[in-house]
Amino acid sequence: MSVTTSHRYLESLLAGQPQLPASPLAWLNRLRADAVDRVSALTVPTTRDEEWRFTDISPLTRIPFQPARSATRLALTDIENYSLPEAAARLVFVDGVYAPQLSFNNAGVVVENLAPGASQQGATLEAHLGRYAEFQHNAFAALNTAFLQDGALIVAPRNAAVAAPIHLLFVATRQDVAAYPRCLVVAETGSEITVIEDFVALQDEVYFTNAVTEIAVGDAARVRHIRVQRESGKAFHIANCAVTLAHAGRYQSVSVALGARISRYNLNVLQAAEGIECAIDGLALITGRQLADTHTSIDHARPHGASRQLHKCIVGGAAHAVFNGKIMVRPGAQLTDSSQSSRNLLLTGKAHVDTKPQLEIFADDVKCAHGATVGQLDAEEVFYLTSRGLTDAAARNLLTYAFGAEIIGRIPVATLRHRLEQTVLEQTNRES
């Protein structure tokens, strides 16, 4: 794609942006305007860009997606298969538009639509919104910020502990629509919350989801973040998540990618003070001609930080999985303890994976390790199970299921965990 063609495509995506109503907050209008300027200066990444060399998103640029101006009217019965009885609060967005009739909040903390919340939470928004998800060099983050309107705002005040999860449900219903989900999660000092981002589709249509999430974890606060991407098999899904951790902050993430024709998830975690802990687990389960790309960065910028990462890919059909995980230990970040593992299972001869775990260490008193494996099912393990009476197909299904269930088992919400385990089991049965 030429630079001119790329600019024209981005400009076509921006066509509906002037129709957004102005915000009563001058700084928010300036943020949108700055994002529009950046979109005009940037280009769509291609495989010639190092960070995108394994991920060709040119099919995305063939469709001039535009945002929905009104939500498809859904009833509670339309989303009952995705509801979580454990949830203390739920915000529902249909094709990017907030659906208040499907939403509720019994969590005792701020859980509301970002747009009307701007008047009530203006100081919090100004302090955090657009501060962590960098869009100066990221065209998709800039696009999302340019269209900043409806979105999820979660604020857990000092020492608040919410045991039940907060469910953010993003529902796609229309063809050729672009949705720009935005989430801001602020966990103040000593607070504890669990947030679920859930991307689903009611129709098997072509559409574009471009999501941005920002999470600020305060001193001694804890955030559990579960992210499930089960979009239409024809959809495009690009997401950026930026997390910053203050002193003794805790961040635990489980990300599961099942859907979309092409998906890309960028997760950037910054240790902004001493004594943080983060655990990042991921699973991509894809088949057919799907492409799922996960890029992560854990930046240990201060001493006494600990991080653990396990990312798994199960790839069937002629699908292609990509994992690029970077751990940075900056000068002075002594006593960092970090480990990273990329494990990949190929189910067919045409399945493909590119994995690149990375360590960059600029401190001398650290404990860091990383590794990657790519392979098929162990023949001895299959033989062992068949010798105990299982058929060859059943043995392979069981081993594949167990491979993925390790990640899903770390989701602390029973209903969601059981549903995803069933999805993995069904998918492995189809591959046999």
Domain membership flag for residue 324? no
Give the per-residue pLDDT at 64: 86
Q: Are residues 267 and 404 in the same domain?
A: no
User: Sign of the C-alpha dihedral, residues 17, 19, 23, 24?
Assistant: positive
Domain membership flag for residue 364? no
Q: Measuring CA to CA, which residue among 99, 226, 116, 231 is closest to residue 177?
A: 231
Q: What is the pLDDT along the chain (432 residues), one digit of tens a residue?
A: 666 778 788 888 888 776 788 888 889 999 999 999 999 999 999 999 999 999 999 999 998 899 987 778 899 999 999 999 999 999 999 999 999 999 999 999 999 999 877 768 888 999 999 999 999 999 999 999 999 999 999 999 999 999 999 999 999 999 999 999 999 999 999 999 999 999 999 999 999 999 999 999 999 999 999 999 999 999 999 999 999 999 999 999 999 999 999 999 999 999 999 999 999 999 999 999 999 999 999 999 999 999 999 999 999 999 999 999 999 999 999 999 999 999 999 999 999 999 999 999 999 999 999 999 998 888 888 887 888 888 888 888 888 888 999 999 999 999 999 999 988 888 777 665
Domain boundary among 273, 292, 316: 273
Residue with tokens 């999660």: 185
Q: Show the domain range for 405.
A: 378-432
Q: Are residues 190 and 75 in the same domain?
A: yes
Burial 406-427 (b: 16+ CB within 10 A, else e): ebbebbbbeebbebbbebbeeb
Domain membership flag for residue 368? no
Give the per-residue pLDDT at 393: 81
Domain membership flag for residue 300? no
Number of domains in the chain: 2
Burial 7-31 (b: 16+ CB within 10 A, else e): bebbeebbeebeebeebeeeebeeb
Domain membership flag for residue 365? no
Q: Are residues 192 and 70 in the same domain?
A: yes
Domain membership flag for residue 333? no
Q: Measuring CA to CA, which residue among 231, 226, 112 is closest to residue 170?
A: 231
Q: Widest CA span of the chain, in angstroms?
A: 70
Cut 0.85: pTM above it? yes
Q: Are residues 122 and 235 in the same domain?
A: yes
- The helix/strand/coil state of 5 is helix
Domain membership flag for residue 183? yes
Q: Are residues 249 and 395 in the same domain?
A: no
Contacts of 130 (CB under 8 A, 6+ apart): 31, 145, 214
| C-beta atoms surrounding 349 within 10 Å | 8
In Å, how far are 90, 92, 234 from 164, measured between CA atoms? 11, 17, 33
Domain membership flag for residue 347? no
User: Sign of the C-alpha dihedral, residues 279, 186, 158, 164?
Assistant: negative
Q: Are residues 20 and 155 in the same domain?
A: yes
Q: Is residue 175 a contact partner of residue 205, using CB atoms and an 8 Å limit?
A: yes
Domain boundary among 257, 273, 289: 273
Q: Are residues 265 and 387 in the same domain?
A: no
Domain boundary among 273, 290, 305: 273
CA–CA dist 367, 359 (Å, integer):
11
